[in-house]
Structure 1
Amino acid sequence: MAVDEVLPEFADAFPFERFNEMQSAALPALLDREDNVVVSAPTASGKTALAELAICKTLAEGGTALFLAPLRALTNEKESEWERFEDLGYSVYVVTGERDLSPRRAERADILVMTPEKADSATRKHETARYSFIMDVDCCVIDEVHLLDSERRGAVLEVTVSRLRRLCDPRVVALSATMPNIDDVADWLDAPSETTFAFDEAYRPVPLNADVKTYTHGENAFADKYRRLYRALDLAEPHIREEGQALVFVSSRQDTVQAAKKARDELVERDIPMGARGDYDFHNDAADLSNDTLRQSVLDGVGFHHAGLSREDKNRVEQWFKEGKIQLLFSTSTLAWGVNLPARCVVIRDTKLHDPLEGEVDMSPLDVLQMLGRAGRPGYDDMGYAWVVCDRSDADKYRRLLRDGKEIESRLAGELDAHLNAEIALGTIRDIDDVMSWLETTFYYARAKSSPDAYDAGSDLRERVSNELSQLVADGFVERDGLRIEATRLGQLASKFYLRLDTARRFADLAERCAAVAGDGDAAESIDAEDLLATVAGATEFDSVSARSDEQDAVSAVVGSGAPEELDAGQRKVLAILHSGMTGTTPTELKSDAWVIRQNALRLLAALREFLDNLAPARFANLACRVEARVEHGISEDAVGLTAIDGVGSGRAGKLAAEGLSSPADVVRAGVSGLVAAGLSEGVAEQVVSNARDLPVVVVDWGEFPETIATGDHDMREVTVANNGGGARAGLRVTVNGREMTAKPSYLGQTTLPVAVFGADADELTFTVEVTFPNRPLDPVTVSRTVAVR
């Protein structure tokens, strides 16, 4: 069917002139009906055009479309692709966690592009002005809906779509690779049979020949990696010799680089004609690559692609592969979900990968099928060839996967308590009846109906949810009053920070300890940075972290025997990474996992800070804030306050600290000239000094405070605490000889504190005013006065 006949006003939005057979079959359901639509079709068969058809219908009716992309990298890709819609006068706006949100642009957008995680966040905050735009969505297109079966991300996609449907009831168009149980997805989304399509392999543009190949083990994992590489090259070689292209998937970014290096040498040994060193223009273009290894490699016809490359380098690699200048490309799995880069031959070299949070895990069956689906170039190849290279013990498992496909399961069951708590905290569930109404909107419910034995559900599903609710009440996350239910502060915090409930309970327990010892000066000192780090390291989110044998000596060198006994080897590794992160000296053995673990720990430290801010005195939240800043920036305890200055990160803080400047007050005193002397440019120095002046400056006025008091006398005085800098929320505390007399939160300005001076048995009384900032990494301000007892 010709595009300009079907959609004349949107013809320029499509990069082709005619819809293919699959697209034409689904077209009436998308354009002529209002029902929800579910389409399952082979990779590379043209599903993206179905998404665009649904979007065109929505735009023609004056509505707003939301496109849920499975990866953040793909949201950027759609932004580039859909400039075609911009050229037609429609606004495309990408909303991701890495960009500052413009609520105004989001509200005016005709097409929103988001990941499931960002859409989850937006729907949770739909009542705020910042995220109210999510309520205006008229059509939601779910790309790769088979991600429901992803262990890590499936439940988020499921509850987000269910919540969105309850909030604003958009039309839903769900697109998927081939899956056996498409009817379950259709049942979940209330898509009738007339708008549910299961296109089989006959609709694949290029037939696929997929198989499993095994390899012989070597002496160790390192040797095995290269045995699999040679096996992959054996499979790719005949296609490369025929001027075809091969795409080899490996498990990590580093492996793409190492495999490309080794493959270049091996291809020379095998005398396989490749490369374009005689192409003068290509040689000049390659010189512009920012990655040195890639610059050398592409001239030999070998490239690599991973998320760590610059966008410019990735774009060049993709373009050169499409043009045939790169004949052998090594990549991580992200390429399988993203850019349409088919190859005549696809080989999955690694079926297992190292996950910093999970240890060694099998590659997801969804990833495997997605990668294999990249085999075969429409218009160039008569057949695509795809292989899984694996251990003999896994061969039958992968053969079954290739033969039968993968049924899509719900992953909500394993996280039911946390997601139920989140809905209660959001107020979308307010009573017992709402609980079951919510459950019936989930894919979990639809899947349990069709396969009750597999889900151990059937007639007991209501009982299961009822038990989960009772446990939430028992654990303090939810309060129940008759049929009415609502989240406690603990439940709200757990939901806000996406915490597993065991972790939320652990954080609350620490906050309760802090609150309990607050009045006892000696005991309060026993809760320190080490307690906070151990609490985070022991979080449930890190339960699956493992410490390899070569890492354990490095862990011991960092934490010694000081780690709490409750922490297992993997959690001690997390603790070691956090400790070394605070000083910027992570041992080499721990660096490969350190970044991912540290990023997850920073999220948990931010959550712990807010738990302490809500449930304990302010000084403990301030301690958490300073620990968080040290882990993030790798700065010493003495200089961590510098990071409170907007625009000062680890590099600038290190320069300033090296010159003896350790606080914002030091920066203000040093002035621009002092910061220039410390190595900052004049423009940066001016901005840093200006930003430092915006921070609070505490002044304590003791008034007519006595120097002596007679034994047995009692005198009431007032102490004034003022702020001569930028406004800030603070915790104020007065102690006498280490014992707390007064404590209160305040927004500084200026406030007065009543202080009782009494003639006690002691020879002297030391009164201390302490000012702490719960959400800034500033050192506490303490000022003391001593009164002699006569």
Structure 2
Amino acid sequence: MEVAEVLPDFADAFAFEEFNRMQREALPALLERDDNVVASAPTASGKTALAELAICKALADGGTALFIAPLRALTNEKEADWDRFESLDYSVYVVTGERDLNPRRARHADILVMTPEKLDSATRKHDSRRYDFVTDIDVCVIDEVHLLDADRRGSVLEVTISRLRRLCSPRVVALSATMPNVDDVAAWLDAPPACTFEFGDDYRPVDLNAGVKTYTHGENTFADKYRRLYRALDLAEPHLREDGQALVFVSSRQDTVQAAKKARDEIAERDVPMGARGDYDFHTESKDLENDTLRKSALDGVAFHHAGLSKNDKDLVEEWFKQGKIELLFSTSTLAWGVNLPARCVVIRDTKYHDPLEGEVDMSPLDVLQMLGRAGRPGYDDVGYGWVVCDSADADKYRRLLRDGKEIESRLADSLDAHLNAEIAMGTITDLEDVMDWLETTFYYVRGQSRPEAYDFPNLRQRVRDCLERLVEQGFVETGENLSIEATSLGVLASKYYLRLDTAERFAAVCERDEVTADDLLEAVATAEEFDSVSARQSERDAISAVLVGQETGDLEAGERKVLAILRGAASGSTPSELRSDAWVIRQNATRLLSALQAFLERFCDPHAANLARRVEARIENGVADDAVGLTAIDGVGPGRASKLSKEGLSTPGDVVSAGVSGLVAAGLSEGVAERVYEGAQSLPAVELEWGAFPDTVRTGESDVHQVTVRNVGEPSQAGIRVTVNGVEMSSVSTYLRDEETIPVGVFGANEDELEFTVSVAFPGEPLVPLEESWTVVVE
């Protein structure tokens, strides 16, 4: 069955010319019906083509397709793969973070690509103009639906699909690796039997011989890595000697590099023949690699692959592996989920990995099965060999996994309160009956019917009542007449900013303080529940103490001190090398939390506190000094340019406007950049104060009211104006400052020699340092 015969208009969208047996059997359900489809099939059997068939049908009908990728690293790969659709005049758009989102492109895209987390966030805000595109989806393809069983991420996928189905009723096509309870997923998605497929191992293009090998666990974890590496090489060596290829999965990016270096030396010592060594043409081609370490390794037929490599280097490694020039490849698990890169032998060297937010955790069973599924090269091998290398204490667990597979469970119960709060905040749940109606749309409900005892199904209604009562007690939800349910401001903010409920409570408590400092904000983020599993390794503790020297952190646990040290280091632009491996992930999460904390402060505290949070966030994001952080509000000014301008005495957008293009050129910017930066600075709010007839003196006992004018000579923006006298707040106002605002100020002859009046103007949404001006009145 040729692609061109079945889909003549879309033949160029596929990377092959003929459908295989599995694809042929699923094809009528995908192309000739409109029902939801669930297909479970072995890794490397061609599931991606099923996704593409569903997308082609939607496009042919004039609709919009959504593809949910399990990992962020894979969304960009899909965008690159699907330039085949672009060549047919269909647009593909990857929906990224809040600030990078282009709503117009998303709205006009034919194919959207998102992770479950991005889709969850977007559907929570579906009624905003920015995210309304998510209500216009005709087919939703879930790649790797067995992600439902993943800790924390699984419940996100589950509730998001349920929500999307209520919002716009798209056709759902769910694909997964082999799973024993595919019928439960089909029941959840209302896929009829004719559209539910469970393709067994006989559909694997190559048979899989999988097993478990143990190693002797020692005292030193560093030495253990090398014990496992030698074990992996022992397993791979026979295949390498027969011109086969081996793929070895390790736990981290750095480990791929170190393992490849060590393996290269070991293979040379064992005198294993590697074809790349004598290939002069390949020697020349390898000069195209940007990573020097990778180039040296690849020349010996050994390479590494991880998400941190440049696209050029990843593409070259993948191509050379397919061509057989790379015979031994070390990779992180990302490769198992994304690129179709099979090998005769697959070895999982590491079954545990270090997660910056979770500490040491076990590789998920789904990841293990996915990686082993890469064993066996269609068209080259009759059988693939897959091995799990683990400590003897874990051996039986992995043998059971390989023998019985992994049933997919719901993880919704673990975070039911947060997801329930989100639905109430969106207004989709208004009473207890709505809660039960919502719950019946979840995989949790379906799986509970299959395993009532394990899911405590008979007591489900009571559990939901208890959960609702907790939300009311904690202030996220309030009840009204006839047992109606409505979200409070706290509940709405917790949902909008994707917070764990304990974190939302902590942020609300910060807003109740008389005065909020930058230290308060950093500590609130460092102690957030989102970082509750961060651990500080022994090798990191001295670096943490050095960053926090002189600061009172006695109540903080080791993991919280680590987060705080990383945030302080990021804000100053100097993260110690010992903390850098985890710093990126922690910083990304911290800036998201600070953005949420800014919204809390704006809602429950005042604009000045919100502006402080925005400045702290910008400092952590850019690593610039507090007095120069306002420069990062200018489009095109990142940490480098901000530091350069600051050193030249230009530390605010106002300084940039005053300097003009010529001044910016004198400060070291090229003329083109200077013009863009100057225009960017002009597009920000800029304030001037006029004290008018404000007096210089006042007699004791006398009083009068005078006026101060706050004029915005830049772009309109939300602003907070505060007036203090001798440090005590007299008045404050929050306003949308378009042109000018007149502030009445009472001048009272008090029991003081002098009265210092200070007017401060802050912009909560911009990292601009507040403008402050003072006027001294002498009391006679």
1:508 aligns with 2:508: yes
Q: Return 678-687 or 726-735, whichever deviates more.
A: 678-687
Q: Deviations over 1:739-780 (max 9, x none)?
A: 221110122321111111122222222211111121222222
Structure 2 unmatched runs, 5+: none
- Equivalent position of 1:268 in the other structure: 268
- Equivalent position of 2:647 in the other structure: 658
Shift of 1:203: 1.4
Q: Deviations over 1:29-56 (max 9, x none)?
A: 2233332211111111111222222223
User: Is the Cα contact below 8 Å between 2:236 and 2:246 reproduced in 1?
Assistant: yes
- Equivalent position of 2:529 in the other structure: 540
Q: Distance in 2 between matches of 1:633 and 1:81?
A: 33
Q: Distance in 1 between matches of 2:758 and 2:3?
A: 78
1:752 aligned to which of 720, 726, 742: 742
Q: Distance in 2 between matches of 1:107 and 1:783?
A: 45
1:785 aligns with 2:775: yes
User: Is the Cα contact below 8 Å between 2:125 and 2:496 reproduced in 1?
Assistant: no
Q: Return 129-138 or 9-18, whichever deviates more.
A: 9-18
Q: Distance in 2 between matches of 1:710 and 1:83?
A: 78
Is the alpha carbon distance of 1:664 and 1:84 closer, same or farther for their aligned partners in structure 2, counting shifts above 3 Å?
closer
Q: Distance in 1 between matches of 2:92 and 2:767?
A: 38
Q: Distance in 2 between matches of 1:151 and 1:40?
A: 21
Q: Distance in 2 between matches of 1:429 and 1:62?
A: 33
Is the alpha carbon distance of 1:653 and 1:590 closer, same or farther for their aligned partners in structure 2, counting shifts above 3 Å?
same
Q: Distance in 2 between matches of 1:231 and 1:264?
A: 15
Q: Return 552-561 or 83-92, whichever deviates more.
A: 83-92
Q: Distance in 2 between matches of 1:103 and 1:739?
A: 44
- Equivalent position of 1:644 in the other structure: 633
Is the alpha carbon distance of 1:103 and 1:778 closer, same or farther for their aligned partners in structure 2, counting shifts above 3 Å?
closer
1:713 aligns with 2:699: no
Is the alpha carbon distance of 1:673 and 1:63 closer, same or farther for their aligned partners in structure 2, counting shifts above 3 Å?
closer
Q: Distance in 2 between matches of 1:170 and 1:667?
A: 50
Shift of 1:219: 4.6
- Equivalent position of 2:541 in the other structure: 552
1:468 aligns with 2:495: no
1:739-778 to 2 correspondence within 5 Å? Answer: 739-748=728-737, 749-778=739-768
- Equivalent position of 2:670 in the other structure: 681
- Equivalent position of 2:573 in the other structure: 584
Q: Distance in 1 between matches of 2:20 and 2:179?
A: 21
Shift of 1:158: 0.8
Is the alpha carbon distance of 1:198 and 1:478 closer, same or farther for their aligned partners in structure 2, counting shifts above 3 Å?
same
- Equivalent position of 2:63 in the other structure: 63
What's the secondary structure of 1:770's corresponding residue?
Answer: strand
What's the secondary structure of 1:469's corresponding residue?
Answer: helix
Q: Deviations over 1:584-642 (max 9, x none)?
A: 22222222211111111111111111111111111111111111121111112222222
2:582 aligned to which of 577, 590, 593: 593
Equivalent residue letter for 2:736 = Y
Q: Distance in 2 between matches of 1:229 and 1:563?
A: 43
Equivalent residue letter for 1:44 = A
Is the alpha carbon distance of 1:92 and 1:599 closer, same or farther for their aligned partners in structure 2, counting shifts above 3 Å?
closer
Equivalent residue letter for 1:768 = T
- Equivalent position of 2:591 in the other structure: 602
Count of aligned residue pairs for this structure pair: 778
What's the secondary structure of 2:624's corresponding residue?
Answer: coil
Q: Deviations over 1:714-759 (max 9, x none)?
A: 2111111112233332111111222221110122321111111122
What's the secondary structure of 1:445's corresponding residue?
Answer: helix
- Equivalent position of 2:350 in the other structure: 350
Is the alpha carbon distance of 1:410 and 1:658 closer, same or farther for their aligned partners in structure 2, counting shifts above 3 Å?
same
Q: Distance in 2 between matches of 1:307 and 1:454?
A: 38
1:722 aligned to which of 693, 697, 711: 711
Q: Distance in 2 between matches of 1:581 and 1:438?
A: 42
Q: Deviations over 1:306-350 (max 9, x none)?
A: 000111111111111001010011100000000100000000011
What's the secondary structure of 1:452's corresponding residue?
Answer: coil
Q: Return 285-294 or 563-572, whichever deviates more.
A: 563-572
1:618 aligned to which of 607, 610, 625: 607
Equivalent residue letter for 1:289 = L
- Equivalent position of 1:520 in the other structure: none
Q: Distance in 1 between matches of 2:430 and 2:380?
A: 58
What's the secondary structure of 2:582's corresponding residue?
Answer: helix
User: Is the Cα contact below 8 Å between 1:534 and 1:563 reproduced in 2?
Assistant: no
Shift of 1:390: 0.7
User: Is the Cα contact below 8 Å between 1:251 and 1:352 reproduced in 2?
Assistant: yes
Q: Distance in 2 between matches of 1:132 and 1:566?
A: 44
Equivalent residue letter for 1:272 = V
- Equivalent position of 1:691 in the other structure: 680
Q: Distance in 2 between matches of 1:498 and 1:655?
A: 36
Shift of 1:371: 0.2
- Equivalent position of 1:43 in the other structure: 43
User: Is the Cα contact below 8 Å between 1:534 and 1:564 reproduced in 2?
Assistant: no
Is the alpha carbon distance of 1:80 and 1:561 closer, same or farther for their aligned partners in structure 2, counting shifts above 3 Å?
closer
Shift of 1:660: 3.1
Q: Return 85-94 or 334-343, whichever deviates more.
A: 85-94
1:369-388 to 2 correspondence within 5 Å? Answer: 369-388=369-388
Q: Distance in 2 between matches of 1:227 and 1:498?
A: 42
1:171-570 to 2 correspondence within 5 Å? Answer: 171-455=171-455, 457-482=456-481, 483-513=483-513, 517=514, 524=515, 527-560=516-549, 562-570=551-559
Q: Distance in 2 between matches of 1:85 and 1:772?
A: 48
1:98-113 to 2 correspondence within 5 Å? Answer: 100-113=100-113
Q: Distance in 2 between matches of 1:80 and 1:714?
A: 71
User: Is the Cα contact below 8 Å between 2:121 and 2:498 reproduced in 1?
Assistant: no
Equivalent residue letter for 1:755 = V
Q: Distance in 1 between matches of 2:222 and 2:244?
A: 29
Q: Deviations over 1:213-236 (max 9, x none)?
A: 111234511111111111111110
Q: Return 149-158 or 344-353, whichever deviates more.
A: 149-158
TM-score (norm 2): 0.96
What's the secondary structure of 2:453's corresponding residue?
Answer: helix
Q: Distance in 2 between matches of 1:426 and 1:99?
A: 22
Structure 1 unmatched runs, 5+: 518-523
Is the alpha carbon distance of 1:123 and 1:8 closer, same or farther for their aligned partners in structure 2, counting shifts above 3 Å?
same
What's the secondary structure of 2:454's corresponding residue?
Answer: helix
Shift of 1:709: 1.9
User: Is the Cα contact below 8 Å between 2:124 and 2:495 reproduced in 1?
Assistant: no
Q: Distance in 2 between matches of 1:626 and 1:88?
A: 45
Shift of 1:124: 2.0
Q: Return 120-129 or 322-331, whichever deviates more.
A: 120-129
- Cα RMSD, aligned residues only: 1.9
Q: Distance in 2 between matches of 1:731 and 1:446?
A: 51
- Equivalent position of 2:616 in the other structure: 627
Equivalent residue letter for 1:726 = E
Q: Percent identity?
A: 72
Q: Distance in 1 between matches of 2:258 and 2:332?
A: 13
Shift of 1:657: 2.3
